[in-house]
Structure 1
Amino acid sequence: MNRNIVLVVDSASALPLEFIEQENIIGAPIICHFKGKDVEDDFGKTLNIKEFYEGLRAGEMPTTSQINVFRFEEIFRPLAEENKSVIYIGLSSGLTGTVDSAKRAVLNIKEEFPQADINVIDSLCASLGLGLLCYLAYEKIKEGKSKEEIISFVENTKMKVNHYFTVDDLNHLKRGGRISSSAAAVGTLLNVKPVLHMDKQGKLAPLMKVRGRKKAIATLAEKFIERTDKKEMQTISIVHGDCLEDALHLEQLCRENGNVEKCLINFEGPTVASHTGAGLVSLYFIAKERE
């Protein structure tokens, strides 16, 4: 373990609390506005995830606020005082200004501590795609790799992280401007489910429409089988919006390809689920490039 390197991970990564509580990791919570209150999405410590999804199903429409410059300064300053090498891997700039806030915080910190070693990486990833990238980076820290080696690995890997997902409730995508009101209405009526992905600019983009949820989940596995080498063993990640059985079914479909060594499964946290709703199922894996 290279104990001088600290990995900072924000809550858009959908990583479990037990991962964040490991040594040399700091979780940066994004604010979720839920039931009239501002609540930190701190990986499940404050906001009970089951309560959150119950609220979504009851019609709550939460919103989120990016981490601001001041909050990043609070995170980075003690680490600069301890002369730690900091690597923050942030939610895609195609979705939020969080990475920009982090970069401005670093400039402010360096006015106090000119030698501060703080590195901000725009992952161009989201959810457990970002989480998978952080997981793999932490493995490099545990292997004793240098800061430069870890940053190079992340930069060379981030555009290979494939993101595919489907949702059950189209109203949240409609509210976020991902689909039109008419498309949401027709899709709901005809049981049409969108399959979306993260494009090369780090933005969510529609990929195709399929009839029925079962077919949509199968399509995610088909993308994995189509885009990965069966001879190369994979660590994949799956996130779900309070529908674990669907996530386990997707894992089974992927494992049938024979190249899944490890599968990380977790709830989608409030940061992303506020914009996708309950019933989200998404798959993340490493391929040669993104679609």
Structure 2
Amino acid sequence: MSAAPQTRRVAIVTDSTSDLEPADAAARGIDVVPLFVNFGDARFRDRVDLSLDEFYRKLASLTVLPTTSQPTPALFEEAFRPHVEAGRAIVCVTIMASLSGTINAATTAGRSFPGAEIRVVDSGTVAGGLALIAQHASDLARDGADAATIAAALEGDARTLRGYATVPDLSHAVRTGRVSRAQAFIGSLVKILPVLRIDSGKIQEHARVRTFARALDAIVDAGAAVANQADGARICVIDSHAADEAAIVAARLREKITTVPLLFERLQAGPVIGTHAGQGALGVFVLPGPSTGSG
């Protein structure tokens, strides 16, 4: 029988850009530290103070986009403290350092507990990719692995995980600084959409296509190719208010990935990811490796 989260030797902590559903995170024993979404002077904790429906309604009506900010070290201290007091080691896995200083806040917080075993890991990814790695960490903790073993496994995950994403509208990425105005202008002139590859702490262009339908083809084909080369794979399809398209992508992946057992996850992008991606974005993340555990 699996150990209940409160009886495990190692606690798992991540941040809200993983976009794990709160109930699933709680069931898996994963503590989630929120980033912030700022609408003017009003600050909201990601996935805590603002529902997804409310966020996307607000986003659709705004002329000035919200901003996002990382958690404070104090929030990570709050997450760590009960586990330290209970004598548990902690493995904390965060959004890629190239996108956010969240890992620095977690590292600073860890120094507040001298003598405690707190290992902070850069996932090298975000969103659905971070969710898959956090879930893997939870499975390892459930099975009795120690903190050093879990952290080493997650560092391996960061090297092998692949993500592919596309957005139908580049305006949000421009306004939040993720895509240059020149890139977006050229893309709009020639009706080109980028397909992005997310791995090893970098976001790079994977392909350029003419239509959103072809962009979806590209992320399905790329994700399936990675999975079919592995002994097993954890798969996540994530969308920002594009449930119908995400369902199609998930179904097509299931058709194409026939040679490996799957752990399959469907997630919705929360306010922080939605701020940068805008509505309609889709991503496919693949973590190669034996698909053991509850998925």
- Report if TM-score (shorter chain) is over 0.5: yes
- Taking only the aligned residue pairs, the percentage that are identical comes to 27
Structure 1 residues 191 and 57: alpha-carbon distance in aligned structure 2, compared to 1, 3 A threshold: farther
Secondary structure of 2:8's counterpart equals coil
State the distance in 2 between where 1:269 and 1:180 align: 23
Tell me if structure 2 keeps the 8 A contact 1:236–1:260. no
Tell me if structure 1 keeps the 8 A contact 2:103–2:122. yes
Say which of 24, 27, 40 aligns to 2:29: 24
Give the 5 Å matches for 1:13-162: 13-22=18-27, 24-34=29-39, 36-41=41-46, 44-59=47-62, 60-110=64-114, 115-162=115-162
State the distance in 2 between where 1:128 and 1:252 align: 17
- What is the TM-score normalised by the length of structure 1? 0.89
Tell me the equivalent position of 2:255: 256
Structure 1 residues 53 and 191: alpha-carbon distance in aligned structure 2, compared to 1, 3 A threshold: farther
Tell me if structure 1 keeps the 8 A contact 2:11–2:29. yes
State the distance in 2 between where 1:16 and 1:120 align: 22
Secondary structure of 2:38's counterpart equals strand
* TM-fit CA distance, 1:230: 5.6
Backbone CA RMSD of aligned residues: 2.0
Tell me the equivalent position of 2:221: 222
Tell me if structure 1 keeps the 8 A contact 2:137–2:150. yes
Show CA shifts across 1:46-73 (max 9, x none).
Answer: 2110111122222351111111222222
Tell me if structure 2 keeps the 8 A contact 1:83–1:117. no
* TM-fit CA distance, 1:219: 0.3
State the distance in 1 between where 2:288 and 2:231 align: 10
State the distance in 1 between where 2:252 and 2:29 align: 35
Indicate the larger mover: 221-230 or 239-248: 221-230
Q: Which amino acid aligns with 2:240?
A: G
Show CA shifts across 1:146-202 (max 9, x none).
Answer: 2232222112222111011001221111123333223323434554221112243x1
Tell me the equivalent position of 2:239: 240
Indicate the larger mover: 228-237 or 277-286: 228-237
State the distance in 2 between where 1:230 and 1:153 align: 19
* TM-fit CA distance, 1:275: 0.8
Tell me the equivalent position of 1:182: 182
State the distance in 1 between where 2:71 and 2:269 align: 18
State the distance in 1 between where 2:167 and 2:178 align: 12
State the distance in 2 between where 1:95 and 1:197 align: 14
- Structure 1, unmatched stretches of 5+, are none
Tell me if structure 1 keeps the 8 A contact 2:94–2:122. yes
- What is the TM-score normalised by the length of structure 2? 0.88
Tell me the equivalent position of 1:7: 12
* TM-fit CA distance, 1:25: 2.2
- Structure 2, unmatched stretches of 5+, are 290-295
State the distance in 1 between where 2:142 and 2:236 align: 20
Indicate the larger mover: 140-149 or 233-242: 140-149
* TM-fit CA distance, 1:34: 2.8
Tell me the equivalent position of 2:275: 274
Q: Which amino acid aligns with 1:66?
A: Q
State the distance in 1 between where 2:237 and 2:40 align: 27
Indicate the larger mover: 128-137 or 26-35: 26-35
Q: Which amino acid aligns with 1:31?
A: F
State the distance in 2 between where 1:250 and 1:62 align: 29
Tell me the equivalent position of 1:205: 204
* TM-fit CA distance, 1:121: 0.8
Tell me if structure 1 keeps the 8 A contact 2:233–2:288. no
